[in-house]
Amino acid sequence: MEAAETRVAVVSIIVEEAESIERLNAILHEYRQWIVGRMGIPYPQKKVSIISVAVDAPQTEISALSGKIGMLKGVSAKTAYTNH
């Protein structure tokens, strides 16, 4: 069986509701096999956290990850993909 083709992408996440952080971390843990790196920046002056997650995964996994994150209360996620 041939492995699914993967794409490199960055999921940019803004967290405005602190109570969603535990669930967010659980989702990221669920997709840990696809995560290349993660950077989190707390920004207490604006009461938000800014997180960038670099992934190398099949398109379906990236979409599922971003969708699950975007459904969390007070959390927004946008994904930027490589062209190939």
CATH at 49: 3.30.70.1150
The pLDDT value recorded for residue 66 is 96
The pLDDT value recorded for residue 39 is 97
Closest among 76, 36, 26 to 56, alpha carbons compared: 36
Q: Which structural domain range is residue 55 located in?
A: 7-81
The model's pTM is: 0.90
What residues in the chain have per-residue pLDDT under 70? 1-3
Report the number of distinct structural domains present in the chain. 1
Q: Is residue 1 domain-resident?
A: no
Helix H or strand E segment including 48? strand 48-57
Q: Is residue 2 domain-resident?
A: no
**How many CB atoms are closer than 10 A to CB 54?**
14
The pLDDT value recorded for residue 4 is 78
Q: What Å distances lie between residue 11 and 1, 8, 17, 70, 84, CA to CA? A: 29, 10, 18, 10, 17
Q: Is residue 52 domain-resident?
A: yes
Contact assessment for residue 60 and residue 79, using Cβ atoms and an 8 Å cutoff:
no
